[in-house]
A and B are shown apart, each in its own frame.
Chain A
Amino acid sequence: MEEKKPDANLDLRGVVCPINFVKTKLKLEELNNGQILEIIIDAGEPMANVPRSIKEEGHKIVKVDKVDNHFRLLIEKA
């Protein structure tokens, strides 16, 4: 399946919990339903927490890629 082009992106490498999620949440507020946000977060605690919080808010994580020691997530706003 062809990957949707992100409508916005955030580089959250080095940004600690929960500020990484807060910034993700604020950026998602600016998007319309169905639009895609690309974020890059660190492995470890951020990867353990941020995706769960995003899903709790009802958004969909459509793709996860591991790039070096980081993760790239594509989030579809719901």
Chain B
Amino acid sequence: MALTNEQIERYSRQIILPNVGGKGQDKILKSRVLVIGTGGLGAPCSFYLAAAGVGKIGLVDSDKVELNNLQRQIVHTTADVGIPKVESGKKRLKALNPEVEIVTHGMRLDSSNILDVIKEYDIVVDGSDNFPTRYLVNDACVISKKPLVHAGIFRYDGQIMTILPGTGPCYRCLFPEPPPQGAVPSCQEGGILGVVAGALGVLQANEVLKFVLSTGDMLVGRLLIFNALDSTFRTVKVPRDKDCPVCSEHPKITKLIDYQEFCNLRTKTDCSVK
């Protein structure tokens, strides 16, 4: 497929790069990426993916934009408060790059729907803010052998790892089971620096682009940990767990699990400034 003059101009700064070129840009234009959550991670991640020209971006979120989101969720604006986050996200990504197809999934993922959603995409980005979704996404991607870019953020820290099922470790190799209820505070209780979300979301987009371009080394079997206070990155090697509950040869988990929410995050009433 020949690039149009407009595409050559829009993507010129990355077409110039070694390992991209016209063929790489074509791969990006044909790629299909699912971004789960349009929050602190999903917003910057999807923004950069749309900018790079990813052909189809799926956005999953069941929430509406709240004023407290805007400190970090850069695809939403003040005027969007109250509208579904997938609609707000779609509007902003389309404004940035009209040639990207944006598919909105305004739903909460569970064991009954996730496999149908992820099968339409080449790679999945987990930008969820809760453990039930994180484990569900990991298990669904392992079971359907779908590449997954995990990231988690809390206060001044963030971590990221790419999961290639069958090749490297999965999230359960690292943390086999969700933490007990109440053991880990949520972002809402713990706080988050917007730039930490931004940094990790952009790193997720980087993993996606390397996957699409088949270039560089992805964070497979390596957990990258960022601390914003020290401005440090460190990498921890993560081996595959031969007894992993989901990705080992004899997994205990063969069906998706709907864990219960650990806090009343979802049922909380609107606390935004009126």
Contact = CB atoms under 8 A, between A and B. Distances in A.
A26 B18 contact: no
Interface band, chain A: 10 to 19
B95 interface: no
Interface residues of A, dominant DSSP: helix
A18 B15 CA distance: 10
Interface in A27-78: 29, 53, 57
Interface residues of B, dominant DSSP: helix
Contacts of A29: 21-23
Contacts of B13: 18
A32 to B, nearest CB: 14
Given A26-B3, A29-B23, A18 B12 contact: yes
Given A23-B8, A29-B21, A18 B3 contact: no
Contacts of B16: 18, 21-22, 25, 53
B18 A22 contact: no
A37 B83 CA distance: 53
Interface string B234-269: 000000000000000000000000000000000000
B9 interface: yes
Interface string B19-30: 001110000000
A26 B9 contact: no
A18 B12 CA distance: 8
A19 interface: yes
Contact of A19 (B8, B18, B21): B8
A26 B13 CA distance: 13
B22 A19 contact: no
A23 B13 CA distance: 12
User: 10 shortest A-B CB distances, which residue pairs?
Assistant: A26-B22, A22-B12, A29-B22, A22-B15, A29-B21, A22-B8, A19-B12, A22-B16, A18-B16, A18-B12
Given A19-B12, A22-B15, 10 more contacts: A18-B12, A18-B13, A21-B16, A22-B8, A22-B16, A25-B21, A25-B22, A26-B15, A29-B21, A29-B22
